[in-house]
Structures are given as C-alpha cells and as structure tokens.
Structure 1
Amino acid sequence: MKLVNRNVDKSYQGTVVLIPEEPEDMWHAYNLISEGDSVRSTTIRKVQNETATGSSTSNRVRTTLTIRVESIDFDTQACVLRLKGRNIEENQYVKMGAYHTLDLELNRKFQLCKPEWDTIALERIDMACDVTQSADVAAVVMQEGLAHVCLITSSMTLVRSKIEISIPRKRKGNVQQHEKGLAKFYESVMQGILRHVNFDVVKCVLIASPGFVRDQFFEYMYQQAVNSDIKVLLENKSKFMLVHSSSGFKHSLKEVLQEPAVIAKMSDTKAAGEVKALEQFYTVLQCEPAKAFYGKKHVQMAAEAMAIETLLISDNLFRCKDVSQRKEYVCLVESVRDAGGEVKIFSSMHISGEQLSQLTGIAAILRFPMPELEDSDNDDVGDDSDSD
C-alpha cells in the first residue's frame, strides 16, 4: 500500500489518501473502511443526455465522487472492494444524496475520511504501508489426485489453484495406467507452483501430504527441473519443505502450520506469530485452565484485573456495525497494552483467524490464574455467547 497523504490531527480527525498496490492491500482497505466513513475516488457513471428534439442518448463518463459508505462488499477473487452509499459532494453528473457504488481497485487512489480515527485503524495503515510485513509463505497440500496450491500472506490464506485429476487404481500386472495418471497429476501441480508462486517474495514453500505422496512429487518435480532446465526451481530448492498432513484439503493447513519445524522455518513471518500464540493458548487451556479464557465477558474481566499477558483478537470484531461495540474492543486493546500485555490481531481470512473465530474471536492468556472467572462461567454460561 502506498501512503500518498496522511492528515490526522491529535484529536483523531482527518483524512488519509492511499493507493492499493497488491491484492493484500485490498484486504487492508476492507478492514480500514467502515460504514459511516466518507470515501472519495474516481468512478464511471452512466449519464443520460436529452437533445432539443426530445431523443435521449447515454454515455459513460469518468468522474470523482465522495460517498458516505452504507455497505461494503469484498470480492476476494477479483480483488475489488465495492462501496455503496449516497453522494455527499456537489457533482455535475450525480445529484446530492443519489446512491452510487464505488469500486476500489488495485492502483486506483482513494481518500478516506472517518468521523473519528482510532489506534487500530492507524496501526492498520502503518502495517499496510510497511513492505517488510508481507513476508509470504506458499503451501501445497496434496493427496493422490487432489492438491491445493495456497498463498499464506500475513493476513490471509488464499487458494490460488485447486487440482483434481482421477488416477486409475493399480491393477495386478498392469500399473502403467496408474503411473501415467500420477505423472499427469504431478505435472499439473508443478505447473500450479510455477504459475502462482513468486519466488522473489516467498520465503518458504511447504509441501504437505499423507504417506509418501509429497516425497514422490518432490522427486518428480526436481527430475523434471533438471531435465527441462527449469532454473527457478533449481535455484530455490532450499525453500521447499516437506511435511506431513492428514489430507489434501485446505483445512489440513491448520496442522501443518503448527509443526515445530514449520514454525521455526517461518519464524520471521507474522502468520507464524499468530499460529504460535494460538497453539500456546490451547496448551495453557489444557494444562492450566484458570490462566486461559475466551469470550468477551471473561476477557474484559481479566483486563480489568490487569491480568492479561497475551490478548488474541480477530480483526472481524473491529468491523462490527455497532460503533460503540467497536470502541469497546479498541479500548480493550489499549488497556491491555497499557498494562504491559501483548496484543495479537488475527486476520479472519487466515487459517489461524478462522480457528480463533470458533472461540468467539477473542481469547486471552493470563499472567496469573483467575479461578474466580471459571466460577462465574458456571453461574451464567449462556450470557457470554449472547454478548458476542
């Protein structure tokens, strides 16, 4: 993300002008823009002109509009953010108060004005504009006949390619058809890697499968690379890492990212920090349940006691339509930091964020046990789920 201009004063009033430069930036923009914000950008508007004779013609004109956002739709495949709202500035083609949909696209500048900026939104801008934050990882989860080529950025897990090829079974005395099918499958997976993995950015490529599928594929790929002199694969051989997974489906990434060897290899990426924090939470929950809690009510009570060592929170909670609720979560983050705690903001489009969402989207590891929170849990089990 390119920051063109930032004009936010001490009272958290003002505007920022940004240019999304890569797909990940659209995700950051989706997290930044809330209902009620004003967004200014260029757009195409269909204009009807009536001639003196009464006939009408329509043509499309490019104009700059400012709308007050009422709904937000993020198309992850096309990497387009659609903002619908009413026009709030004079324009020769669009009446004041008329509805219009702005499409924010890559390399198209937009200006964002919020009624009040908060620390989470300003942090998001800093993170989006810091190039070092996009330390990426690629992963191929596979089983015989099925593979998913994924890109794991610091914010989300994107399935770039799904490969499905039926492989004939091995038959007694005739294994040729089986081997031909396997070779075709491995070739398709290799082409998927070459097409979707940018080795200039990616630091690590995980190849995961049950059994020996990953080893056979890796052997095939490097045999092909040597025979066909595919330099990009030969030069980046050290970036590949073979690990076990239970299947070739996307959800198997969860266990792959928790492997100690994988965490060590990915240690300088944000994704690894989140996975590690979640793994630690589950361990504490199992061994010392009085030091690990999830759900808004319990976490807030722990924060009031300044007991939180690590707060795990999903960025989904900062996108809630209720402004007062969003402020509550922002205040919670700030109070944990003020008390010397660490805050991990998880992306809801990352595999670890999906896991956290199953735990209400908010969890905490405490500095010291608080068994009284466990007792309050028994008193009103239903109350907490209603508040999230």
Structure 2
Amino acid sequence: MRALISPRHLNSFKYKCLLFWSMKILKKDLKHNTVTVQVQGQDDLWHLSEIIEKGDSVSAETQRKIKIGDNDTAKKSFFVTINVEKIIYDEAAKQLRIQGITTSEHEQIAKGSHQTIEAEPGTKITIVKPQWQGYILERLDEASKTSFSDTLICLIDRESSIIAILKSKGYEILVELHGEVAKKYEGKMSSREFYPDVVKKLEEYSDRFDLASIVIASPAFWKEELIKEIKDEKLLKKIRTATVNTVDKSGLDEVLKRPELKAALSEDRAAKEAIVVEDLLREIGKEGLVTYGIPDVSKAAEIGVVSKLVLTSGLISKKKIEGKFEEIDSIMKKVDSAKGSVFIINSDNDPGKRIDALSGIAAFLRFRM
C-alpha cells in the first residue's frame, strides 16, 4: 500500500491551523459601517476577496521599501488607509492584494499615492463601507465560522480510496490510498492490507476533526466490504453510505448531490452549492420559476421577483477585471433590498462550473415575469 499525501496534512500542526482556523471578527460597528477582522487561514483570503469592494476604505499594516543612505534600502512596516480601487486574489499563490489610493498623510507615504496591502494569515484589516449589504454580512458571518465541517467523505473501490473533508470552500483531499489488487486465482477481491489501512485513516481523522458523519461511497458493493473491517462501534454510528460511479474528484462532486445524503449534508457549504445547482437545473429543465443570463436576471431583480440569486465567484472576478462589476453589484443590491437571498458559488468546483456554463448567473423567481 502506498499513500499519496503531502506531509503538510499529517505532520504540520501549523499548516493545519492556517488551513482550518476561521477568520476572527475583532470589531463589528455597523452604526459606523466598520468591521475589523483578523485573517486566520487561507480560505479567509478568498472570503475577503468577495467581501471587500471597490470604493471601500481599508486600513491595515503594510510593508514598503525605504531608502537608507545613498545605496541601501530596507523594508519598514506602516499602518495605512486606502480607498480601494482593485482587489486581486491569486488562488494558486494563496495571496490577496488590495490596491488603492492612500487617504492619510504619512512620513514615508504621501496622501494620494498608490499603495498595496498584502493580506496573509495574521493580518488585521479594518473595512469601512458606505453600507453593509445583507448578503455581504452573511458572507462575513460564514467566514467567521469554522472553515471545515464535521463531515468526512471516503470513496472506495477494490484498489483505491480518496478521503476528503468538507470545507467552506469545497473540500480538501486529505489522503489518497492505493492497494495492490490481488490475483483472481487467489479468490480475493482486494489486498488484505488495503482496507484495514483505510479504516486506520478513518479512525485517525474521526478523532482529529471530531467528526459527526463519515460518508463511505463506492461503485457496487465495495463500501460494504470496507464497513466489515470497522470494529469500532462509535465509528460505525457515524457512517452513512452512498453510491458513486468513480473514485476520483468527480466522485466527490457526485456524493454531494446524492439525494439520500441531502439531509445529512444540508449544513455543509459544498453540499449546499451542489443542491442549489441541482434544484436550479431541474427547474430550467421543466421551464419552472427560474431565469438565467445577465439581461434576464437584471430585469427580474429590477421588478423585485428574485427569491434567490445564484452567481459564481468566476463571474464576479471577471467583471471586476473588466471594470464592469457595477452591473452585477447593482443586481445583488436590488435582490437584497427586495428581501431575496444572494448565493455565491465557487467557480473552482463542479457546481460553479455548471453555472458558469449558463453565463455565471441565474435566479429563482417568486412568480413569472
């Protein structure tokens, strides 16, 4: 048996903390439209990239090179306040850069100069908005909750297994295990050592993450074969089963949409995204109370018939880059003002990709237009 796993998942407590700790809300003064947060983990950067908008006032400590003597330079920390012009989130590099114009004078930084605040775990950021919309406050509250759930998914077949934990931003694959398939003439369907090793991982993660549910999913009967190897009664009580076609990332996406797990996964962000998209596509298929595309959704928002707006992080990022975000922002604000809900889906996951194929925006309607 060989395990494809990064040491960061099992051997680094520091990495675990950065990955799973939730953002801290240090101050929330909505009377003055001010919120101060501290970045705890990598997911917080993604949340902040959606929370901070052009025109916001953002204050934080930043570093800048200053000249020392004739030839030398050194980095020095400054506390600056900027009027935000651009937000850049680099998913691959796990970096958030907030660019804008300084609004206060400093010895080394002139008022009105361009400045970039680079957010990372540990950064404290104060955000002042003209107004905090309801859907943005919901996003803030979501970010302040734990970024990983108490649900684990284990995909299994006769020779491989993937174990992943659900997070606020999709899921995180913790380990991939592979066993050697036994020869047919031996009368064995899988390696004798493979399934016990998978069980050991389930026991380890159950304790580490204080799991409430473990979903074991497989093609055919492999899930039942794995469950036979589990002797721990407490672990058995946490197990739910489902059927999937493949043991890979598409299998993980498939689990999130299984109807038999809808109730169990109803509180998990990734599962919610999958369920919302399934409901949306079903309504589109039967020409129900839904619409999609910016022109039609904008019209529905204008007359106040949107009960739930669904759009992707990819569409938001694209419009911000193009300098056309105001149109999307206006739709969200109109829906929020009409007591509708706004649901932003991560474009990196399968549900988000399916919505992006429909132009990145859709809406459930209260009644037909």
* 1:159 matches 2:168: no
Indicate how the Cα distance of structure 1 residues 8 and 179 shifts in structure 2: closer, same or farther if over 3 A, else same.
closer
Judged with a 3 Å threshold, the aligned counterparts in structure 2 of structure 1 residues 294 and 262 are, in CA distance, closer, same or farther, namely same
Aligned partners of 1:349 and 1:97: how far apart in 2? 36
Match of 1:284 in 2: 283
Aligned-residue offset at 1:307? 4.5
Map of 1:312 onto structure 2: 310
For residues 54-93 of structure 1, the aligned pairs below 5 Å read 56-76=71-91, 80-85=95-100, 87-93=102-108
The aligned counterpart of 1:386 is none
Instruction: Give, as a single letter, the amino acid of the residue that structure 1 aligns with 2:292.
Output: Y
Of 210, 216, 219, 2:225 maps to 216
Q: Does 1:203 align with 2:225?
A: no
- Displacement of 1:240 in angstroms is 2.4
Q: Is the 8 A contact 1:148 1:159 kept in 2?
A: no
Is the Cα contact below 8 Å between 1:137 and 1:151 reproduced in 2? Answer: yes
* Cα RMSD after superposing both structures: 3.8
In structure 1, distance between residues paired with 2:158 and 2:62: 47
Residues 39-92 of structure 1: per-residue CA shift (max 9 Å, x gap): 322234444411xxx5x4444433323344454343557754233455554334
Distance 1:197 1:294 in 2: 44
**1:105 match:** 120
The residue number in structure 2 matching 1:19 is 38
Provide the secondary structure at the position in 2 that maps to 1:179. Answer: coil
Cα distance, 1:29 vs. partner? 1.3
Deviations 1:252-283 (A, max 9, x none): 23331222221121234455444333333333
Q: Which residue of 2 aligns with 1:246?
A: 245
* Partners of 2:97 and 2:118 within 8 A in 1: yes
The equivalent of 2:47 in structure 1 is 28
Answer yes or no: is the 8 Å Cα contact 2:203–2:235 preserved in 1: no
SS at 2:330 equivalent:
helix
1:334 aligns with one of 312, 324, 336: 336
Task: Provide the residue aligned with 1:300 in structure 2.
Answer: 298
For 2:128, give the aligned amino acid: C
CA–CA separation in structure 1 for the residues paired with 2:149 and 2:177: 29
Aligned residue among 144, 155, 173 for 1:141 = 155
Q: Quote the Cα distance in structure 2 between the aligned partners of 1:270 and 1:128.
A: 11
Distance change >3 Å, CA 88–CA 187, structure 1 → 2: farther
> What's the TM-score, normalizing by structure 1?
0.71
Choose the corresponding residue for 1:187, options 193, 197, 204: 197
Distance in 1 between residues matched to 2:164 and 2:97, nearest whole Å: 25
**Contact map agreement 2:149 2:166 (CA 8 A) in 1:** no
CA distance in 1, matches of 2:187, 2:236: 34
In 2, Cα distance between equivalents of 1:86 and 1:305: 37
Taking the aligned partners of 1:14 and 1:242, their CA distance within structure 2 comes to 46
CA distance in 2, matches of 1:203, 1:70: 43
Per-residue deviation at 1:299? 2.8
2:6 paired residue number:
none
Q: Which amino acid aligns with 2:61?
A: T
Report if the CA contact (8 A) 1:133-1:270 is conserved. no
- How far 1:37 moved relative to its partner? 3.5
Deviation at 1:31, TM superposition (A): 1.1
How high is the TM-score relative to the length of structure 2?
0.74
- Count of aligned pairs: 343
Corresponding residue SS for 2:297: helix
1:265 is paired with a residue whose SS is: coil
Amino acid at match of 1:292: V
CA distance in 1: counterparts of 2:201 and 2:346, whole angstroms: 29
What are the Cα deviations for residues 100-124 of structure 1, in whole angstroms up to 9, with x where unaligned? 5433223331112346544433332
Tell me: CA distance 1:310–1:119, structure 2 relative to 1, closer, same or farther (3 Å).
closer
CA distance in 1, matches of 2:26, 2:299: 41
Residue 364 of structure 2 aligns to a residue whose secondary structure is strand
Q: Secondary structure at the match of 2:263?
A: helix
Structure 1 residue aligned with 2:62, among 43, 51, 55? 43
Q: Which structure has the larger Rg over C-alpha atoms?
A: 1
Are positions 1:275 and 2:274 aligned together? yes
Q: 1:3 aligns with which of 25, 38, 47?
A: 25
Q: Distance in 2 between matches of 1:343 and 1:40?
A: 27
What residue ranges of structure 2 are gaps of 5+ in the alignment?
A: 1-22
Question: How far apart in 2 are the matches of 1:77 and 1:189?
Answer: 32
Look up the equivalent residue of 2:204 and give its one-letter code. Answer: L
Calculate percent identity across the aligned residue pairs. Answer: 26
Q: CA deviation at 1:165?
A: 3.6
User: Structure 1 residues 237, 99: CA separation in 2 closer, same or farther (over 3 Å shift)?
Assistant: farther
1:185 Cα shift?
7.5
